[in-house]
Structure 1
Amino acid sequence: MALDDLSKSAPQIPAKLLAEMSKKGMKPESPVLVRIFKQESELEIWKTDGTGRYALLKTYPMCRWSGKLGPKMKNGDRQAPEGFYHVSRGMLNPKSQYYVSFNLGYPNKLESALGYTGEALMVHGACSSSGCYGLTDQGVGEIYAVVSKALSSGQVRFQVQAYPYHMTPGNMAIHKDDGNLPFWGTLKEGYDAFELTKQQPKVSVCGRRFVFNTEFQGGDPSDPLAACPATATPSDPQLVAKIAAEKRRVEAALAESRASTMTAYVDGGMHPSFRSLLKKDGADKLAARISSIKYPVSRPEAALADPFVGVAKRSGAGTVSDSGR
Structure 2
Amino acid sequence: MLRKYVLLVVTLLMAGALASCSPLEGDGRHLVPLSSAAKMQLTAMGSSPGAAMMVRIFKEEDTLEVWKQTADGRYRLFKSYEICTWSGELGPKFYEGDRQAPEGFYTITPGLMNPNSNYHLAFNLGFPNKFDRTHGRSGSHLMVHGACSSAGCYAMEDDQIAEIYALARESFTGGNRAFEVQIFPFRMTPQNLARHQNSPHFDFWTNIKEGYDFFEVANQPPSWDVCEGRYVFRQPSAASAAASIAGVCPAITADQTIVSAFMAKQSADAIALQSAVTRLAEADAAAATAEQRRINADAELEARGAAINNAVDGFFSTIMTPFGGGTAQTQAVPVNPGG
TM-score normalised over the length of structure 1: 0.72
Q: How has the CA–CA distance of structure 1 residues 32 and 260 changed in structure 2, closer, same or farther, with 3 Å as cutoff?
A: farther
Q: Does 1:257 align with 2:280?
A: yes
Whether contact under 8 Å (2:56, 2:66) holds in the other structure is yes
The aligned amino acid for 1:159 is E
> Paired residue for 1:243?
266
> Paired residue for 2:130?
109
* Alignment map for 1:285-324 (pairs within 5 Å): none
Whether contact under 8 Å (1:216, 1:231) holds in the other structure is no
Q: How has the CA–CA distance of structure 1 residues 208 and 101 changed in structure 2, closer, same or farther, with 3 Å as cutoff?
A: same
Moved more, 123-132 or 246-255: 246-255
Larger radius of gyration: 2
Q: Secondary structure at 1:96's aligned position in 2?
A: coil
The Cα of 1:243 is off from its aligned counterpart by 2.6
> Paired residue for 2:232?
211
Q: How has the CA–CA distance of structure 1 residues 172 and 260 changed in structure 2, closer, same or farther, with 3 Å as cutoff?
A: farther
Whether contact under 8 Å (1:33, 1:160) holds in the other structure is yes
Residue correspondences, number: 252
* Alignment map for 1:39-58 (pairs within 5 Å): 39-58=60-79
Moved more, 135-144 or 174-183: 174-183
Q: Distance in 2 between matches of 1:47 and 1:218?
A: 25
Q: Does 1:146 align with 2:142?
A: no
Q: Distance in 1 between matches of 2:253 and 2:220?
A: 19
The Cα of 1:204 is off from its aligned counterpart by 1.6
Q: Does 1:99 align with 2:110?
A: no
> Paired residue for 1:190?
211
Q: Secondary structure at 2:116's aligned position in 1?
A: strand
Q: How has the CA–CA distance of structure 1 residues 141 and 8 changed in structure 2, closer, same or farther, with 3 Å as cutoff?
A: closer
The Cα of 1:50 is off from its aligned counterpart by 2.2
Which runs of 4 or more aligned residues in structure 1 lie more than 3 Å from their structure 2 counterparts after TM superposition? 5-9, 214-221, 232-235
Whether contact under 8 Å (2:49, 2:171) holds in the other structure is yes
The Cα of 1:74 is off from its aligned counterpart by 0.3
Q: Does 1:172 align with 2:214?
A: no
Q: How has the CA–CA distance of structure 1 residues 7 and 28 changed in structure 2, closer, same or farther, with 3 Å as cutoff?
A: farther
Whether contact under 8 Å (2:234, 2:243) holds in the other structure is no
Q: How has the CA–CA distance of structure 1 residues 10 and 259 changed in structure 2, closer, same or farther, with 3 Å as cutoff?
A: farther
Q: Does 1:16 align with 2:67?
A: no
Question: What are the Cα deviations for residues 111-153 of structure 1, in whole angstroms up to 9, with x where unaligned?
Answer: 0111100011000001111100000100000000001110121
Whether contact under 8 Å (1:100, 1:144) holds in the other structure is yes
The alignment-based identity, stated in percent, is 39
- The structure with the largest helix share of the pair is 2
> Paired residue for 2:9?
none
The Cα of 1:258 is off from its aligned counterpart by 2.2
Q: How has the CA–CA distance of structure 1 residues 228 and 12 changed in structure 2, closer, same or farther, with 3 Å as cutoff?
A: farther
Q: How has the CA–CA distance of structure 1 residues 216 and 142 changed in structure 2, closer, same or farther, with 3 Å as cutoff?
A: closer
The Cα of 1:79 is off from its aligned counterpart by 0.5
Q: How has the CA–CA distance of structure 1 residues 33 and 232 changed in structure 2, closer, same or farther, with 3 Å as cutoff?
A: closer
Residue 98 (structure 2) aligned to one of 77, 96, 111: 77
Q: Does 1:136 align with 2:157?
A: yes
Q: Distance in 2 between matches of 1:12 and 1:216?
A: 33
The Cα of 1:232 is off from its aligned counterpart by 5.9
Q: Distance in 2 between matches of 1:28 and 1:6?
A: 23
Compare relative contact order (CA 8 Å, sep 6+) and give the higher one, 1 or 2. Answer: 1
Q: How has the CA–CA distance of structure 1 residues 126 and 204 changed in structure 2, closer, same or farther, with 3 Å as cutoff?
A: same
Residue segments in structure 1 that go unaligned for 5+ positions in a row: 222-226, 262-325
Q: Secondary structure at 1:99's aligned position in 2?
A: coil
> Paired residue for 1:66?
87
Q: How has the CA–CA distance of structure 1 residues 8 and 140 changed in structure 2, closer, same or farther, with 3 Å as cutoff?
A: closer
Q: How has the CA–CA distance of structure 1 residues 246 and 93 changed in structure 2, closer, same or farther, with 3 Å as cutoff?
A: same
Question: What are the Cα deviations for residues 213-248 of structure 1, in whole angstroms up to 9, with x where unaligned?
Answer: 177998559xxxxx8433263762333223322222
The aligned amino acid for 1:33 is M
Q: How has the CA–CA distance of structure 1 residues 128 and 259 changed in structure 2, closer, same or farther, with 3 Å as cutoff?
A: farther
Whether contact under 8 Å (1:176, 1:260) holds in the other structure is no
Q: Distance in 2 between matches of 1:172 and 1:48?
A: 29
Q: Distance in 2 between matches of 1:137 and 1:232?
A: 41
The aligned amino acid for 2:265 is K
Whether contact under 8 Å (1:216, 1:230) holds in the other structure is no
The Cα of 1:96 is off from its aligned counterpart by 0.6
